[in-house]
Chains A and B, each alone.
Chain A
Amino acid sequence: CTSIVMQDANGTIWHARNLDYSFTEILRNISIRVDYQKGGKTAYTGITYAGYVGLVTGQRPNAFTMTMDERDQGAWWMNILIAILDRNASPVSFLLRDTLAMSENFTSALEKVAYTTTAASFYTIMGGVRVGEGAVITKGRVGPIDIWKLDAKSGRWYEVETNYDHWAPPPAGDDRRDPAIKAMNSMGQKSISKKSLFNVMSTPPVMNNKTTYTVVMSAAQPDIMEAWIRNP
């Protein structure tokens, strides 16, 4: 997966993601957009797969956006044991949906994701509605390993997360980070739009044979949210 959170020249936060996974062809066929409604009003929106009740891509309108990228650390049996033994440990996709359902703003969402015990480690990429509200959380099972916040004043107007710790070099055989950075720099902070972000996410190998869908969203402009099923 590749997720990018950014702040445009006007201070608006944007968020884009590609979801890459195995079983790609069939997942493309069951990709859906879901509006979760209460009292006839959309409380939050997710892009997911039919039959999958958790969320790894979602937007709470006028509050925050969030995506999850896989982080392969630890041992599978430890993940299951934690799920069985620790009643407070949440499956990752359930935690993201809970956060979209319950947290009312970027700060409370970040706290909830970062400090809830989870069965597995992962990356959460988040965008809010105010200047500076963007972050990549590298989450360990019991708490955050790192919280990397946008800092446009220092030149960090975007952050790219794929499936590797941002402070370490990506493996040579799976470097989607540097092509994404190159595409973002080429686009520029003043040229951010739904179309330009779609183009960034369509750049090989940011988009690749395992990409099932692309999403562009902006919590402050909830109508911007759009998903596309990809067939590279």
Chain B
Amino acid sequence: DPVNPPAFVVNLDLPEEQRWTEVALKYKQLVPDIYAIMKQFLPDPTISLPLIRKIAADVDKYLAKPYAGEMRGIAKTLNMSLGDVVTCNLLYDISAF
């Protein structure tokens, strides 16, 4: 039977880095796995991954607020590289072709 997905509040009054902490902690076991699987979906990863790392290395320059800060917060909570979080958040833009 279909079930409703769990509901969360993202408080936009909080600093960007803290907004997703509750969600990230709740899914700490699952999200790193999906990030690892999604990376395999990248087209021509020997070329695309370095380009994405370039964006991740200077995320505040390439991605507008509040997204850079929110992804930084998720990476910190999950103890993951910011590059992995950025990769999966840009997956549509990379894979739509």
Contact = CB atoms under 8 A, between A and B. Distances in A.
Interface residues of A, number: 59
A83 interface: yes
B48 A51 contact: no
A228 B27 contact: no
Given A30-B30, A37-B9, A53-B74, A92 B2 contact: no
Given A53-B71, A76-B43, A83 B93 contact: yes
Contacts of B48: 76-77, 80
Q: At the interface, is chain A mostly helix, strand, loop or mixed?
A: mixed
A76 B91 CA distance: 10
A27 B5 CA distance: 11
Contacts, number: 163
A83 B95 CA distance: 13
Interface in A154-194: none
B96 A94 contact: no
A4 interface: no
A72 to B, nearest CB: 6
A224 interface: no
A33 B26 CA distance: 14
Contact of A120 (B12, B13, B93): B93
B31 A51 contact: yes
A50 B30 contact: yes
Interface string B1-17: 01111111111110000
* Pairs of residues from A and B, 3 with the lowest C-beta to C-beta distance, nearest first: A228-B2, A50-B27, A119-B93
Interface of B: 2-13, 20, 23-24, 26-27, 30-31, 33-35, 37-38, 41, 43-44, 47-48, 51-52, 54-55, 61-64, 67, 70-71, 74, 78, 85, 88-90, 92-97
13 contacts: A22-B41, A26-B37, A30-B27, A30-B34, A50-B24, A68-B92, A73-B96, A79-B97, A83-B62, A119-B93, A120-B96, A213-B5, A214-B2
Interface of A: 22-23, 26-27, 29-39, 43, 47, 49-54, 56, 68, 70-81, 83-84, 87, 90-94, 98, 118-122, 213-214, 226-231
